[in-house]
Structure 1
Amino acid sequence: MTDILEQLAERQGPGPFNQPGTQDRGEDRTLERFLKFNPPKFIGGPDPELAENWLERMTNIFIGLDYTEEMRVSFAAFQFEGVVRAWWDVIRRKWERAQTPWIWKNFTREFNEKFLPSLIQEKREDEFIKLRQRTLSVAEYEGKFTNLSKYALELVVNE
């Protein structure tokens, strides 16, 4: 967590917010705003649904906040703990060497490759293809259809 805060401070550069006693109350307190959304921590694990739910929650938080792509990546990584933190440190160094842009698209690609592998995504696409209403209510069926449709975007051209 300290590493991420230091990186944010370095990227923001010197300014009145880094000088003691000169912080203006009206300044944007991005980290405080982010934490008010009560973002979940992510520690990994064998259940890909946990990863999927975490990423969806983080994405929803960032929809509500007008943050730069770089801040989104930094704040999402701020929520990593344990082995996931170690994994992120490897990815961060890889990005630095390759000069990979800190954008949400790159972050989600790396995250999905690690925690929601293509085999799981293919399984969900197959679930979508085989989805039938049967005993489900219309609302339940629509919910499953919508949830699984993100794994088969090429099959769902429009609403």
Structure 2
Amino acid sequence: MAYGFEPVYEHFRKHTPPSFEGKADPMVAEDWLKSLEAIFDHMELNDHQRVSCAAHLLKLDARVWWDVVKQTRDLNTMTWIDFVHAFGRKYYSASVLATKVDDFVTLVQGNQSIADYAKKFDRLDRFAPKIVPTEAMWVQRFMRGIEPMISRDVKMTSA
């Protein structure tokens, strides 16, 4: 354990994060990730701290999965997004992933606020890393889904 992690983890545990046992229910997996991300955002943790804290909460089958991940990945360079993608590949069925990817590809702002659209976009983005593998492609896909008037205004202000 790296120096300085213990105090971070102790503070993290005071938020009573749930453990994850590796149940095959994708909603349980999604809820677990969301609950952790809320705590991580509140605590303003960096990627390494997020991955380390999350790993400490993996139990039973999820711990077995994590032990395999540790053997195949460099945890020193693993980002939180890397963790989320690996976790998603393990705990979301192919049909659920396909639905989430379709939802991402077809997402448009419509009548929702730009903030609500951005939240949905970010939530679905985690399921489609190959669709937007670069930041430029991510921005392009985001802009394609917002209302034309807003898109035009953004393009004008960024020119």
Question: How many percent identity over aligned positions?
Answer: 27
TM superposition shift of 1:37: 1.1
Q: Structure 1 residues 12 and 113 mapped into 2: Cα distance closer, same or farther (>3 Å)? A: same
Q: Structure 1 residues 109 and 125 mapped into 2: Cα distance closer, same or farther (>3 Å)? A: closer
Deviations 1:62-109 (CA, angstroms, capped at 9, x unpaired): 10112221111010010000011011011011114xx76121011111
TM-score, scaled to structure 1: 0.62
Report the number of matched residues. 127
Determine the C-alpha separation between the residues in 2 that align with 1:35 and 1:58: 11
Quote the residue 1:157 is aligned against: 145
Determine the C-alpha separation between the residues in 2 that align with 1:151 and 1:67: 22
Residue pairs, 1:47-86, within 5 angstroms: 47-86=25-64
TM-score, scaled to structure 2: 0.62
Determine the C-alpha separation between the residues in 1 that align with 2:51 and 2:102: 30
Residue pairs, 1:74-153, within 5 angstroms: 74-96=52-74, 101-126=77-102, 150-151=123-124
Quote the residue 2:129 is aligned against: none
Determine the C-alpha separation between the residues in 1 that align with 2:85 and 2:91: 10
Deviations 1:33-76 (CA, angstroms, capped at 9, x unpaired): 10111101101112111101111111111101122211110100
CA contact (8 A) 2:24 2:92 kept: no
CA contact (8 A) 1:124 1:148 kept: no
Structure 2 unaligned segments of length 5 or more: list them: 126-137, 148-159
Counterpart secondary structure, 1:41: coil
TM superposition shift of 1:118: 4.4
Quote the residue 2:3 is aligned against: 12
Determine the C-alpha separation between the residues in 1 that align with 2:36 and 2:86: 15
Structure 1 unaligned segments of length 5 or more: list them: 1-7, 14-27, 130-137
Determine the C-alpha separation between the residues in 1 that align with 2:82 and 2:103: 26
Determine the C-alpha separation between the residues in 2 that align with 1:73 and 1:91: 12
CA contact (8 A) 2:48 2:76 kept: no
Tell me which structure has the larger Cα radius of gyration: 1
Pairing partner for 1:39 from 3, 7, 17: 17
Question: Would you tell me which structure has more helix in proportion to its own residues?
Answer: 2
TM superposition shift of 1:149: 7.9
